[in-house]
């Protein structure tokens, strides 16, 4: 079971990040979930404010969404054209385009420790797609690992209890958040270019070719959400 608030990992995870470009594709979603924070901790340590992180990235923000009255989650889309891509891609062990996600206080102050994560712009579906029928016209069938993968995928969602942890799971910032009855209703949209897409699709048995959205009701005070307060479904 993985929870960002319970991870006891330090810089050694950064050293464990795959040395060969492309080997990131072989990581389990759980391992990627860990490295996405721990592996970039030291890269981003000098950059505390939104302005400083933007300067490091070398490109504009994709979007920022307020997830509580006190904080927002922002995402930058990085390619090789941005100066920040190389050190982040190296830490993650990939040559993919990246999403950098950070949570900042709305008062413009410094972010907290471990409040940023980085993710490939590529669905984790490849990890889950482990068996294909060789019979022409026959539907694709999962192998014996399907049930275990489904359980593991659901555990990842269950243990992501805050807006930042959910964003790290998804690999992107929320698409939108709205205050509803003293809670924040946040929605994440995923497709083949979103790392967490495969994990979300796995939990609901959706085709990996479909877009999947995640809706979660979060306490307005940035406290951990209640169990069963998230739901994934096929949709744009």
pLDDT tops 50 at residue 88: yes
Q: Determine the average pLDDT of the residues in 82-102.
A: 94
Provide the pLDDT for residue 130. Answer: 55
pLDDT band per the 50, 70, 90 thresholds, residue 29:
confident
Other C-beta atoms lying within 10 Å of the C-beta of residue 228: 8
Residue 233 to residue 65: CA distance in whole angstroms: 21
Q: Would you state the pLDDT for residue 93?
A: 85
What does pLDDT average to over the chain?
83
Token digits for 57? 């990235």
- d(CA 85, CA 70) in angstroms, rounded, equals 29
Region of poorest pLDDT, from 158-172, 198-212, 222-236: 222-236
Q: Which of 22-36, 118-132, 133-147 has the lowest mean pLDDT?
A: 133-147
- Count of CA atoms in the C-beta half-sphere (13 A) of 120: 27
Q: What is the mean pLDDT of residues 202-231?
A: 92
Give the angle 168-173-174 at the CA atoms, nearest 5°. Answer: 115
Evaluate if residue 26 carries a pLDDT over 90: no
Percent of the chain residues topping a pLDDT of 90: 63
């Amino acid at each position: 079971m993985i929870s960002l608030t319970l991870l006891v990992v330090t810089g050694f995870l950064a050293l464990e990040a795959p040395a060969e470009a492309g080997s990131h594709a072989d990581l389990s979603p759980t391992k990627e979930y860990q490295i996405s924070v721990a592996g970039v901790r030291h890269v981003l340590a000098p950059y505390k404010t939104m302005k400083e992180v933007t300067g490091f990235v070398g490109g504009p923000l994709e979007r920022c969404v307020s997830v509580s009255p006190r904080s927002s989650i922002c995402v930058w889309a990085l390619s090789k054209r941005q100066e920040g891509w190389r050190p982040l891609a190296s830490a993650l062990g990939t040559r993919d385009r990246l999403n950098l996600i950070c949570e900042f206080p709305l008062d413009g102050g410094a972010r907290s420790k471990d409040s940023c994560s980085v993710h490939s712009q590529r669905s984790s579906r490849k990890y889950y797609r482990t068996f294909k029928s060789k019979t022409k016209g026959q539907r694709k069938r999962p192998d014996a690992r399907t049930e275990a993968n489904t359980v593991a995928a659901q555990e990842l969602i269950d243990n992501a209890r805050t807006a930042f942890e959910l964003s790290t799971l998804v690999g992107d910032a929320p698409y939108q958040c709205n205050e509803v009855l003293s809670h924040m209703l946040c929605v994440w949209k995923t497709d083949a270019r979103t790392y967490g897409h495969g994990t979300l699709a796995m939990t609901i048995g959706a085709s990996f070719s479909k877009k999947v959205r995640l809706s979660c009701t979060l306490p307005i005070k940035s406290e951990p959400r209640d169990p069963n307060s998230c739901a994934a479904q096929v949709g744009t």
